[in-house]
Each structure stands twice: as C-alpha cells, then as structure tokens.
Amino acid sequence: MKIRCGKNDLVSSISIVSKAVSSNKTSMSILECILIEVSNGIIKFTANDRELGIETKVKGEIEENGVVAIDANIFGNVIRSLPDGEVLISTDSSYKTTISCMKARFDLPGRSGEDFSGLPLIEKKDMITISQYTLKEVIRQTIFAVSANDNNKLLTGELFDITGDRMRVVSLDGHRVAIRNIELRQSYSDRKVVIPGKTLNEISKILSGEIEKEVNIYFMSNHIVFEFDQTLMVSRVLEGEFFDVDRMLNKSVYSTTVTVNKKALQDTVERAILLIRDNDKKPVVIGISNESMEFKIKSNIGSMDEFVDCSKNGDDIIIGFNPKFLLDVLKVVDDENITMYMIDSKAPTIIKDETEKYIYVVLPINFANV
C-alpha cells in the first residue's frame, strides 16, 4: 500500500472514524485499530467496535493498493503532530507502516486486515432524508433524558418513530420524558426504531450541523445506517417495545398553567442547584400564586429563597422538583417564555409549546419533610 494525502484531510478522517474505536484498553486489540483500505481508486478508513461502525472516504493519491490495520490512537497522534503538508503512508510486506512528511519519518507496527471485523452488509432501500442540522439538534434536545443505567436496556436508547411526514423522537429515564416532533419534507412508510444513546452521542459529534447538508438514514432489521458527506455510520438498534408515552400524555386536565421567562427561571434553578451536593435528593419547592413563583431550597449547605415573575391560570400550587431535572429541560428549550402545565403536586408536570414541537415531562418529588 502506498498513498499520499494532505495532513488535514487525514486528521479529519481519523477524527471521524475514531468515534467507533473501542475505548476498552486492551493490548493492541484489533478493535482499537483503524483499517486503511486502498482499492478501486478509493482510500477508505474504517473503525468498528461491534456496536458502532464508521467508514469514511479519504482524499488522496493512490500509488499502490493494499490494506493495513493500525492502532488508532497512535496513528492519530502521529498524524496530528506532522507539519502541514503532504503525507506519504506506505506499508511493507510485514505491515510495518511508514509515515513521512517533509523531514520527519515514523515507522509504526501494523497488522493485516484479516482479523478486522468489517461493517455489516448494507441494504440501501428503506430510507429517509433529513438535514444534518435537524438531526444534530434533535439529539441535543433529547439525549439528556436517556437512562444512564442498564437496568432497562431499551431506555438507554431513543425512540425514532416515523408516521407519514412526522418523526417523533422520545427518550425517558423514569424521572423525566423528552419528546420532539419534527415535520419531514415528505411522507414515508411508518416505522419505529430505538437507537442507542451512545450512537446518537457519537454521530452528533461528527455531524457538521449545517442546514444545507443532508443525512440519509437507512433502516435495516437489526441496524440503522447514517450516510452523510463521505461517511457511513452503522449502529445496532435496541430490540423491544418502547414505553408508550401517549398513555401518559392523553389523560390530562390541567388545574394550573404558568408562563414564565425562560432565562429568569433557568438562572434561579441554577442558583438552587448550588445548595445540593452530589447525590443529594433535595427538592426545590416552588410556590405558585398570582404573578409570582417563589423558589425555596434548604440543605446542609444553606438555604435559598427567590421570586420569579410569572403569569398563572388556574389554582395556586406548591410543588417540588429535582432542580437538575428542571435545568436539563430549560437548557434545551430556546423559546423566550415557557409554559408549565400542572395537575397537582404528585402528578407529572408538562413543559410544552403550543404546537407541541417539544413536550417535556418532569416528575415532581415529595417535599413533605423539607
């Protein structure tokens, strides 16, 4: 194998595929390698940790075809350290890989591609297309509610639910629910898939997020494929029936609705969090009466008391929340004002806009003995 590539092209390609390199530090395992494949006029980098696989095409000149697997971390460090310029990468028969750029030359040990597990065979038939911006945004706006623990594997992923020209993205962890409704550019046949949170995290780091750029999403029985720019990303999907959020949302008659400036609310909640040590379950208690919300929190550290202006419809209410869960929602809502819909101090509170582009549900917590 012998190729010539620009240093910066190599750096960005390595950065993309590295998201699928296993981070379990074993000793030079094949899962920690990038596979460099040169054939048919294409230079391709692939990484695959068996949950997530990424391949990307690299710009460059081919002098000789070939395949080599090389430690991703070392390869990345070496390439990034080189001067800006043309980089020559070549291998000998024992897979020793020589990297030269100007007066610098590195020799790194390589491996044959034999043991490398390639990506699954991809069927490109069942597809939807959305903008990179939309996908990146919807991940940011929902990923925080994905369950952090493995007790219910399905909740470590997000439901992508397509019905006609609508896509609904749902995540939940037992304390809160995040729902985003997106209008698609055309209608597609209905389907549901649960995508691992890790996959969504990694793809959102790679996506440029430009509105003009697109992502093709292909649905296969056990995998989902994202195709964008020069890159193909293949992830396993999670098996099982996702929690039915409609049952939770449909039953509600709200006794109190309150509209409040989002920034003011967020600042207050951030201050309340200062009085909570890690793992402490202290609620912030919100007393809502006409025109004002009073926030109170008391802990070993100290106490806080603060008023925020609001406009209220319905009954006065006193309700307690984990302020961190409120903050997670407030961080990803970009509206100037938000409206909270409440039934009573025990039932889930809903934060949503009028058109239900977003619906967030937060469970209150008991504040009786505060």
**Which residues here bind its own copies, judged by CB under 8 A?**
74, 77-78, 81-83, 103-109, 267-268, 270-271, 274-275, 301-308
Q: Which is nearer to its own copies, 98 or 257 (CB)?
A: 98
Distances (CA, A) of 288 to 18, 139, 253, 257: 49, 32, 18, 10
Q: Which is nearer to its own copies, 96 or 185 (CB)?
A: 96
The residue assigned the tokens 């037992």 is 174
Q: Which is nearer to its own copies, 30 or 54 (CB)?
A: 30
* Spatial separation of the C-alpha atoms in residues 35 and 122, rounded to whole Å: 18
**Cβ of residue 269: shortest distance to its own copies, in angstroms?**
10
**Cβ of residue 184: shortest distance to its own copies, in angstroms?**
41
**Cβ of residue 16: shortest distance to its own copies, in angstroms?**
21
**Cβ of residue 90: shortest distance to its own copies, in angstroms?**
14
Q: Which is nearer to its own copies, 9 or 306 (CB)?
A: 306
**Cβ of residue 72: shortest distance to its own copies, in angstroms?**
13
**Cβ of residue 190: shortest distance to its own copies, in angstroms?**
47
Q: Which is nearer to its own copies, 201 or 259 (CB)?
A: 259
Of 41, 40, 35, the closest CA to residue 13 belongs to 35
Of 338, 356, 195, 191, the closest CA to residue 264 belongs to 338
Provide CB contacts within 8 A for 154, sequence distance 6+. 194, 238, 239, 240, 241, 242, 243
97-101 and 86-91 strand pairing: antiparallel
* Spatial separation of the C-alpha atoms in residues 189 and 347, rounded to whole Å: 35
H or E element in which residue 214 lies: strand 214-219
Q: Which is nearer to its own copies, 108 or 370 (CB)?
A: 108
**Cβ of residue 4: shortest distance to its own copies, in angstroms?**
19
Distances (CA, A) of 1 to 63, 112, 152: 7, 12, 46
* Spatial separation of the C-alpha atoms in residues 180 and 141, rounded to whole Å: 8
Q: Which residues pair with 49 in a beta bridge?
A: none
**Cβ of residue 26: shortest distance to its own copies, in angstroms?**
15
Q: Which is nearer to its own copies, 107 or 316 (CB)?
A: 107
Q: Which is nearer to its own copies, 306 or 353 (CB)?
A: 306
Q: Which is nearer to its own copies, 26 or 303 (CB)?
A: 303
Label each residue of 39-55 as H, E or C.
ECCEEEEEEECCCEEEE
Distances (CA, A) of 59 to 4, 13, 62, 75, 118: 9, 9, 10, 17, 21
**Cβ of residue 129: shortest distance to its own copies, in angstroms?**
41
* Spatial separation of the C-alpha atoms in residues 346 and 201, rounded to whole Å: 33
